[in-house]
Amino acid sequence: MNLNATIIGQIFAFFLFVWFCQKLVWPPIVKALEERQKKIADGLDAADRASRDLEQAQARAAELLKEAKANSAGIIDQANKRANQIIDEAKEKAREEGARIKAGAQAEIEQQINQAREQLRQQVAALAVAGAEKILERSVDQNAHAELLKKLAASL
């Protein structure tokens, strides 16, 4: 076991390699490691935030859904009401129209009856005059007996 200058050589080599390691090796790898640590931390943070956001979004969605349901129920209610109203209005209109048509028809019938009656009355008057003329065999002064004839016709 000889002690010799190999010791000194090894000391120089030692400090040389430590220096190389400190300058060339350690910083880039530690930087990469720290960056990765930060990335992972950020990732976990983001995941936390995302899950919180998701919860909020779900709550908001549920709220919106509830609102929408309420809205739609209101709209359906309104629509039903409106439909009933329209049906009622239509019924009312139909009834009125029917009544109007009936009234018109009745008026016409009334008018025709009156017309027929008037005609009949005139004919009866003429017939009565003709008959009376024949019975009396003389001409009757129509003007003189107009009052009488009118009374006769009204009584028919």
Q: Which residue ranges make up the site for another protein (CB under 8 A)?
A: 1-11, 13-18, 20-22, 24-33, 35-36, 39
In angstroms, the CA 52 to CA 59 distance is 11
Q: Which is nearer to another protein, 27 or 104 (CB)?
A: 27
Least distance from C-beta 42 to another protein, angstroms? 11
Q: Which is nearer to another protein, 32 or 57 (CB)?
A: 32
What minimum distance in Å lies between the beta carbon of 50 and another protein? 21
Residue 47: CB minimum distance to another protein, A? 18
The three state secondary structure string of 77-96 is: HHHHHHHHHHHHHHHHHHHH
Q: Which is nearer to another protein, 28 or 141 (CB)?
A: 28
In whole angstroms, how close is the CB of 2 to another protein at the nearest point?
A: 5
- Please give the Cα distance from 141 to 50 (Å, whole number): 119
132: Cα separation from own chain's centroid: 80
Nearer to another protein, 17 or 85 (CB): 17
- Residue 20 and residue 24: Cα distance in Å, rounded? 6
Q: Which of these, 130, 121, 123, lies nearest to 150 by C-alpha position? A: 121
Q: How far is the CB of 13 from another protein (least distance, A)?
A: 6
For residues 149 and 129, the answer to whether their CB atoms sit within 8 Å is yes
Output 20 or 90, the one with its CB closest to another protein. Answer: 20
What is the token pair recorded at 18? 């430590």
